[in-house]
Structure 1
Amino acid sequence: MKKIIGASLLLLSAAFAQAQKNANDTITTNYQPSVLFSPLPYTEKGNEFHSANGEPGPKYWQNRVDYKLAVKLDTIAKTITGTANVTYTNNSPDALQYLWFQLDQNTYKKDARSNFVTGAQATQHTSGYEIEAVDIVTGDIHTKAKFVITDTRMQVRLAKPLGKGIIKLSIRYRYTIPGNFGGRTDYVDTKNGKIYEIAQFFPRVCVYDDSRGWATAPFLGSGEFYCEYGDIDYSVTVPWDVLVAGPGDLLNPKEVLTAKQIARLEAARNSDKTIMIRTAAEINDKSSRPVNTGTLTWHYKMLNTRDVAFGASRAFIWDAARVNLPGGKKSMSMSVYPVESQGKDGWDRSTEYLKGAIEHFSEKWYPYPYPTAINEAGIAGGMEYPGILFDGMNDKGGELFYVTAHEIGHNWFPMIVGSDERRFAWMDEGFNTFIDVYASDAFNKGEYAPKRDGEYAPGGGNPADEIIAHIIDPNSPTIMTQPDAIPEKYRHPLTYFKPAFGLILLREQILGKDRFDYAFRNYIAKWAYKHPQPDDFFRSMENGAGEDLSWFWRGWFYNNYKLDIALIDAKYADKDHSKGVKLTIANKEMMAMPFTVEAKMKDGSKQRTYFPVETWLQNKVTTYTLPTTQDVESVTIDPDNALPDVNRKNNSKKL
């Protein structure tokens, strides 16, 4: 009997295989399973530094930089003059013969390499960083160091190599602040005075990592930043009537604030409602400042951060509220903005938006680490630094909510998870755009939900449909393209939207929410304040979720493979509705995805069947009999239009 059954099974299997072969041979398709499902060639094997499971290895190392900064903002000359005292710790196994610094202000020079990327000629320029001196500091002894500046980088050549240990440097410098042509640092006029958005305002040591050594890619504009972690103690001297909004702990509140403002801050620290720290009526009231002449120095300190920036203006209204974090911890949400930005649909709600986003991201993914978070209104229009955002002073309503949630979201990517934005912008912009989606769902019972399309735009479009135009565009770069090599036309779709939508597909169509969330949280926790590479993310998600996702990384990240799942035929088996509906489904392009088939019955009921991605592991065309027992009106593939299917016209059949 066993031999007869075995023989019967072999005959059935052979018949099925022949049917599949016939279907594969007779239906035209571009799909090649052996290409999509071949093993993904990781750039290197897992090792003691970057483990095969996507986590930091037992010998992972990372260098550290601590800064003590003292700068003066001259509101007449529009300059920053300062001294950066740098303590650099080499934890690498290598002896470093030189150190590299980023001099991002040099991107505004007339001969900067960034001026030649797009071919468009900038009309306004500055002289960039003017480095007065670079000294090596040993105790009380300062020794001049040899340095060479190349575009937006400075190489400090050491007299002897730095092995494992510490070196201290002191750099004296100045630069002219760019006006409204500054991409991420600028000043702008308002009714009550200029607003200064001050970023990249000190020479920062380049990252030295275990993947490429020194990260010296020049600052060209699109590719943002890659920085080491450390403590930053910074002092900003300004005219007496200027407020300095800086992230971190304000160490000298009694010197720069009035007793009333200190009391209001304390009240805000314990309030879920927004409390005014400085009102519009107080902007031109001299009693709102502790002195009425000369200058004041604002002293802040921020721990375990990769960067710092600040806003400054005499025109600031200032409000604040408490942020509730997991485990009973607290932070502060603050906003500073001019009178032009006021309004119940404007910046009056900024602190509420900021608070809501931080609380959601902290609960969902990883706790916010800093004592304050500041939203500053200016013209940068949407730029992020640890603990501070530069957002558009004219933003209102949903636009202000979306930009606020997006920019504070960058405190998770790349401020906490310290990826290299200059090479892999999708690891911060894409991941952050992804977590925005669920922040919009969560805020105020979905007041600004759904957010499924675009970077900041309100809901309404289908993201699966929106991305198709860029997938089918033969000139469209891939996600893995270097950021500065992506033309502006494709920058948002390929850097923000496609990777974000890819994570939505992973979470909602491929892995499921529980497995995705568990793996993604683990990735964040393991790489918090460290430097992951793309392979680390891919490996971490595969190991944490328990899936080989090589096909997805290859098709979605390394290529713009198209997806076209077609319902070729749907008919009753043996012309008998009680025997089910026999389907013939083809994968006509190079991408594959799991998919859902919905059968709509003539009585109005619906039946759904999920097909895993293994459906396409061997076959270009598959046949399947839906186990229906009643009359079927129609059959539809992907009834929710959740997949980026380039041709939905072939997804349905009426019976």
Structure 2
Amino acid sequence: MCTCLLLTTAAASLAQTSYDPRLTFAPVTLPDPVNAYRSSNGAPGPSYWQNEASYELHASLDTQAKQLTTTETITYTNNSPDTLPSLWIQLEQNIYRKDSRGQILFGSFMRRRRNNPTPSATPENINTDGYILDSVEIESGKQATKADYIVPKYIIDDTRMQIRLAQPLKPHGDKLKIHIQYHYQIPGVWGGRTSWGMSKQGEIYDMAQWYPRMCVYDDLRGWDTLPYIGSEFYLEYGNFDYYVTVPSNMIVAGSGELMNPKDVLTKTEIDRLDQARNSDKTVYIRTTADVTDPASRPKQGGTLTWHFHMDHTRDVAWSASPVFVWDAARINLPDGKKSLAMSVYPPESVGPEAWDKSTEYVKDTVEHFSKQWYPYPWPAAINVAGFSTGMEYPGIVFDGIPDHGDFLFWVTAHEIGHDWFPMIVGSNERRHAFMDEGFNTFIDIDESATYAGGKFGPKRDSEYSAGGEPPDTILKVLDNPDAPTLMATADSYGFALGHPVSYFKGAYGMVLLREQILGPDRFDWAFRKYIHDWAYKHPSPSDFFREMQSEGGEDLGWFWQGWYLNNWKYDVAVDKIEGPAVTLSNRGQLVLPTTVEVTFADGTKTRTKLPVETWLSKGTYTWTLENKTPIVSVVVDPDHQLPDDDRSNNVKKVQ
């Protein structure tokens, strides 16, 4: 009877306050369980496996018809323990079809991303027919079979294609080749992430999502076949050889390394490129004057084929234009390794605070992230000024022709930062955008704070400003009953909530972990290990949570619960001051380590940092100070580092 009475009394006491420690500190079951594939410490398990997709692509650009024609060979290796009776392939150009899910659901994803409308971008012609597949063949052993009969055959559904195999693909390393011949109409500027547009002096083609790409088959879901309706990508890793045939007056910038410079560059350009490989200062490969000089191309008329190669990557993209200015500089990597920072842009982008600085920004960003987090692995990092602005692919990013000043720095650092998340650490952007945009925003604000002594810091559109309050966008997310959690599937919430949730709340969570919860030393150690363990692999949020918790040395279930699985509010108040005793209350459901500052009548101050365990069993806490000097005031979170939902109750003064 006594025990029951005590429990009832405790429950009644808890019910009187909005904060319930039983919710905050409840045991957390993460979405993906521990098993032989994914370990309890957050690292890949002893039986972790991953399939592989390598590509050989021969593409031809028809600038008159605005069409790309390609012959593709995919070498697909089944490293899984499962026999695969079919294969799934992404056909992302199909989003531009009138009947695509993206068009129907969002009134056109392309309209939302259109940024520099041209006369061709009208409501009547912002569609294409998507991929036109001229042939699909399966090569297994020495036999090639067309995939257009009963078995094997292929079916197309929206932005996916399934190939049903006559002979299932065996587990543990069996492989086959898929041969696809296709063509498609290149979207205009309205295409967003892939497009062609007219700069002041000539066309620019930004070519991304330009080939059918294997869906991921993993240990979490089997085939992950979420359609492409706006959110980004989830791809397998492999090696790429790709050949791009374009008019001879064009410069092509592409992911990876240019393998045949003697075929597509003049001797002067080759010499300048060699000079850039050994220069920390930007070297012009092709100047503004060269753009109008026919001698800057090795051939007049006809076409040239550019050959690029890239290993251990999940994707490649490229850009082509006859009006590109091109510059480059050496990137210095850890352990004495080198890479190459490059920029291509039209003459109208030239300027001392504009694209003249792009390569310097790329170089500094890659060097900083390589030293701080994980060495950059690829032979080049390229920034392109075109019409598919603010978009990233391995080793190459697309930014805006008019970008300049602090914005050009910020967008360059952000897009280049995506080479780490999700290009090196291959998370599933279509499901978990915070592991892509949030992690990257977190590291790019650090680049803003360090470049040129903080010339472009703090980055004001990020999750917080040093010494200032978190932006209203964070608190609006926490206060908005319709806002999704960070764990929501990326396509499940509208464009207006995309930045506040995925970018800002995602990044602010990392700042809280580093600066308030673990501290820089523990956080950096744990986050570097996470990156190293999952480089070129597919982590889930559960893997990240477990690794940060295990290596950070802190049980963080309360934080995963409050910040990621829910949108709980943080609100700590000063209730009363009675002599040397200060009573505080937790009025939100989220807990965080909280700094409290006391000012005494003699002008001295003292601070304490209340650990989260302060709220382990109750929502109030009385702090009795040893200093008996009269208290003048008490302030919660005096430096405004926490997302306090109501700052009006953070300060109490003794009258």
Which TM-score tier does this pair reach, normalised by the shorter chain? Answer: over 0.9
Show the 5 A alignment for 1:442-453.
Answer: 442-451=450-459, 453=461
Q: CA deviation at 1:315?
A: 0.9
Distance in 2 of aligned mates of 1:139 and 1:258 = 42
Equivalent residue for 2:591?
592
Distance in 2 of aligned mates of 1:240 and 1:139 = 38
Distance in 1 of aligned mates of 2:435 and 2:77 = 26
The code of the aligned residue for 2:461 comes to: D
Equivalent residue for 1:332?
340
Equivalent residue for 2:99?
111
Q: CA deviation at 1:465?
A: 4.7
Q: Deviations over 1:75-98 (max 9, x none)?
A: 110111001111100000111111
Does the alignment pair 1:582 with 2:591?
Answer: no
Does the alignment pair 1:197 with 2:206?
Answer: yes
Equivalent residue for 1:624?
623
Does the alignment pair 1:224 with 2:232?
Answer: yes
Distance in 1 of aligned mates of 2:108 and 2:178 = 38
Q: RMSD of the TM alignment (CA)?
A: 1.9
2:102 and 2:108 in contact (8 A); partners too:
no
Q: Deviations over 1:319-362 (max 9, x none)?
A: 00011111111110000000111111111100011111111110
2:141 and 2:176 in contact (8 A); partners too:
no
Match of 1:92 among 60, 74, 80: 80
Q: CA deviation at 1:600?
A: 2.0
Match of 2:18 among 30, 41, 53: 30
Show the 5 A alignment for 1:4-43.
Answer: 25=13, 29-43=17-31
Equivalent residue for 2:193?
184
Does the alignment pair 1:471 with 2:459?
Answer: no
Q: Deviations over 1:116-140 (max 9, x none)?
A: 2234696310010000111122566
Equivalent residue for 2:283?
275
TM-score, scaled relative to structure 2 = 0.93
Equivalent residue for 1:298?
306
Distance in 2 of aligned mates of 1:184 and 1:391 = 11
CA distance change for structure 1 residues 459 and 407 in 2, over 3 Å: closer, same or farther?
farther
Does the alignment pair 1:63 with 2:63?
Answer: no
The code of the aligned residue for 1:589 comes to: G
Equivalent residue for 2:215?
206
Q: Deviations over 1:406-438 (max 9, x none)?
A: 001111000000011111111111100111111
The code of the aligned residue for 1:652 comes to: V
CA distance change for structure 1 residues 250 and 437 in 2, over 3 Å: closer, same or farther?
same
Equivalent residue for 1:513?
520
Deviates further, 624-633 or 419-428:
624-633
Uncovered stretches (5+) of structure 2, i.e. residues with no partner: 1-5, 112-122, 148-152
Uncovered stretches (5+) of structure 1, i.e. residues with no partner: 1-17, 573-580
The code of the aligned residue for 1:79 comes to: Q
Pairs aligned (count) = 626
Equivalent residue for 2:396?
388
1:380 and 1:392 in contact (8 A); partners too:
yes
Distance in 2 of aligned mates of 1:104 and 1:380 = 16
Equivalent residue for 2:265?
257
1:54 and 1:540 in contact (8 A); partners too:
yes
Distance in 2 of aligned mates of 1:605 and 1:381 = 53
TM-score, scaled relative to structure 1 = 0.93
Equivalent residue for 2:537?
530
Q: CA deviation at 1:604?
A: 3.5
Show the 5 A alignment for 1:130-529.
Answer: 130-138=132-140, 141-145=143-147, 146-164=153-171, 165-221=174-230, 223-451=231-459, 453-454=461-462, 462-463=469-470, 465-529=472-536
Q: Secondary structure at the match of 1:60?
A: coil
1:190 and 1:338 in contact (8 A); partners too:
yes
Q: CA deviation at 1:295?
A: 0.2
Q: Secondary structure at the match of 1:479?
A: coil
CA distance change for structure 1 residues 638 and 23 in 2, over 3 Å: closer, same or farther?
farther
Q: Secondary structure at the match of 1:463?
A: coil
Distance in 2 of aligned mates of 1:459 and 1:135 = 57
The code of the aligned residue for 1:42 comes to: L
Q: Secondary structure at the match of 2:481?
A: coil
2:467 and 2:641 in contact (8 A); partners too:
no
Q: CA deviation at 1:458?
A: 8.8
Q: CA deviation at 1:632?
A: 3.1
CA distance change for structure 1 residues 419 and 27 in 2, over 3 Å: closer, same or farther?
closer
Distance in 1 of aligned mates of 2:470 and 2:388 = 27
Distance in 2 of aligned mates of 1:460 and 1:151 = 48
Q: Secondary structure at the match of 1:181?
A: helix
Equivalent residue for 2:150?
none
Equivalent residue for 2:116?
none
